Chains A and B, each alone.
Chain A
């Protein structure tokens, strides 16, 4: 099996900028530790390590983002390939997804459905992690932050979505709520509400997004790591991922937004890798799709960040500007229509984002001491580890190391685009569920990591004298399946042992715990 079908194979110095960014970030983080004000937590090595790791990770992403933005500005089309500039090998047009792969994709979709079904009702991790035994919000009742929807127990934020749903179904007049900007999600749910009922309509919308995300990752994996099993393994990782399991049947827009984000990455790859690459028409189309996604929940922010970092600005700035401006059209259009219908478009995440920004201004005015303290009080490491636990990071690091440059850059830009808003928001709330928007980049890198470990296993078998192809393939498959099952065991720990640890980490972030 080939690791990559792309011509730009890794070279010795290929990671120069990224490694330099990480080294600089680690150095500064260690320095910042000395800037911390005297406090009790400084006596605890694990707390110090938490601060240093959180600062180093955040600064690494910041420096890589700056480096990427600078490269993107300096780069012209004729320069070395990068995300969005490199013309991928043109599809041969005679390929059909082979039956075995199609069968495996059906299997992946069945796996999504199984996870979704097993985590329904009171087993939904979003809801379960709010129960007293999760030891976070112990002042809540034994059911946690719950409501009854169509006879099913469900996460209670769904209450705030029902007025908007009733508006679409025509059951009630418009009623302002904090969710007015997420009306796109409710429109989709309204399409499902009559046949499925309210609870299952939300749940089915989540499942459809889950399946869409799985198939999108298959497509993206096959696009950026052609000729490998990365896409297939990536799609299986989505099926058992913490974020989708956590949202599962919850009456919330997050899962649909995750699905929309992956779909937008597919659209971006299609519109910016083909003959229409960078054209104004492509940019306008992309902008409209982004705005539509933004009406589901939040998708436009990480996606526009991705677009700006992934596209050579100097060559395509007009297109990027057009895409950004067009993104605003559906968003503003709905706001104008909604306001005329009596909706308010106030409160909720807008206020919280403003508060997060105000907190950042206050931190920056406070100088080094306050910035260093952010690493403790805002728990950036906890947010990143809450979204993806350590094994995912280790496998992703392997995958990043072994990936071809275009794929590596693409995945890194996805990570930055998703982590940046999550980290910026930490001054108000720590939300791993926002950081989970990085899953297309993260899980595909994990898939590469799994692929590499499996290849190592099959090579080791060769050295022991079992060198025939069948044995190597068997070992390869066994290692891939073992790792997939091991990771799925972690994300399904709530079902297997009753432990809510990973659900709690995803809900509230880790804090200073390791």
Chain B
């Protein structure tokens, strides 16, 4: 097999190069039709910088390649001004839900992925399940949150369960609470409730974040404000940071789900 990558450019019409350059200039002109002064200046700067760079790079390639490149540039420049599609505004990756009433509570449903290889590997390796709950600051009973899973009281969050870095005492971070393996026998889903300790007097805050791979649907997180239930999916396109992890010895994480 002999490969010769050299493209014979002698057969191409040299006028194509002139046309390609004309199209490039037109593309730059189109880009300058921008809604703000800053957009015009920044686009023009890069049109010059990359335009000259493109001439250097494409200057010795086949004219048809130059023509294709210039046409694509023009098409993209027109699209910049014609198509109305603003840059995406991502939902917040960290927000908080204040709980300042003993009637309030957060609920979250997780369906453990029993049939998957990831779950099986962790389970047969005697993986220990943990519920992770993210909250602000150092929670010490009685000013703390209480965790319930499938109706069974698991316990109150306390400083010994704090996990991960907290640059400031009031930073948010996970609480890592072990749950018995028995909870997973015969139960297709985990219904987790987090509510304030009955004796709590101060407002508490549970963290929320984005949701992309919920095991029980986008509305698996719910907040009860004392009167009605609402989903943070509806209000913030998010969920509460309540997760299930299966961990091996030394904290090796087999999987994390929410």
Q: Which of A98, A170, A192, A342 contacts B76 (CB 8 A)?
A: A192
Judge whether B15 is part of the interface by a CB distance below 8 angstroms. Answer: no
Task: Report Cα–Cα, A341/B38, bound state, in Å.
Answer: 6
> Known contacts A194-B85, A195-B83; is A98 also within 8 Å of B4 by CB?
yes
The answer to whether A228 and B42 have CB atoms under 8 Å apart is: no
Judge whether A62 is part of the interface by a CB distance below 8 angstroms. Answer: no
Contacts of B35 in A (CB 8 A): 170-171
User: Which of A207-232 touch B at CB < 8 Å?
Assistant: 218-219, 222-223, 227-229, 231-232
The answer to whether B5 and A143 have CB atoms under 8 Å apart is: no
Interface centre among A94, A139, A197, A229 (most CB of B within 10 A): A139
Task: Report Cα–Cα, A170/B86, bound state, in Å.
Answer: 9
The answer to whether A143 and B212 have CB atoms under 8 Å apart is: yes
Task: Report Cα–Cα, A222/B151, bound state, in Å.
Answer: 68
The answer to whether A153 and B1 have CB atoms under 8 Å apart is: no
The answer to whether A153 and B36 have CB atoms under 8 Å apart is: no
Judge whether A280 is part of the interface by a CB distance below 8 angstroms. Answer: no
A2 nearest in chain B by CB position: B2
Task: Report Cα–Cα, A391/B8, bound state, in Å.
Answer: 38
B77 nearest in chain A by CB position: A191
User: Which of B203-258 touch A at CB < 8 Å?
Assistant: 209-210, 212-213, 237, 241, 243, 245, 251-258
Number of A-B contacts (CB under 8 A): 201
Binds A, one of B43-51, B152-160, B177-185, B193-201: B43-51
The answer to whether B39 and A168 have CB atoms under 8 Å apart is: yes
Judge whether A361 is part of the interface by a CB distance below 8 angstroms. Answer: no
Judge whether B79 is part of the interface by a CB distance below 8 angstroms. Answer: yes
Task: Report Cα–Cα, A142/B56, bound state, in Å.
Answer: 46
The answer to whether B256 and A142 have CB atoms under 8 Å apart is: yes
How many residues on A have C-beta within 8 angstroms of the other chain's C-beta atoms?
82
* Whole-angstrom distance between the Cβ of B133 and the nearest chain A Cβ: 12
The answer to whether A194 and B83 have CB atoms under 8 Å apart is: yes
Judge whether B91 is part of the interface by a CB distance below 8 angstroms. Answer: yes
Judge whether A166 is part of the interface by a CB distance below 8 angstroms. Answer: yes
Judge whether A162 is part of the interface by a CB distance below 8 angstroms. Answer: yes
Contacts of B56 in A (CB 8 A): 267, 285-286, 288-289
The answer to whether A194 and B82 have CB atoms under 8 Å apart is: yes
Q: List 26 A-B contacts (CB under 8 A).
A: A93-B6, A93-B10, A97-B4, A98-B3, A101-B3, A122-B212, A122-B213, A132-B253, A141-B243, A142-B258, A147-B90, A147-B210, A148-B212, A148-B237, A153-B213, A168-B39, A168-B46, A171-B86, A187-B46, A188-B50, A191-B77, A195-B76, A199-B88, A218-B5, A232-B3, A341-B41
Residue positions of A touching B, CB distance < 8 A: 1, 91-98, 101, 122, 131-133, 135, 138-139, 141-143, 146-150, 153, 156, 159, 162, 165-174, 183-184, 187-188, 190-195, 197-199, 218-219, 222-223, 227-229, 231-232, 263, 266-267, 270, 285-286, 288-289, 291-293, 295, 330, 333-334, 337-338, 340-342, 498
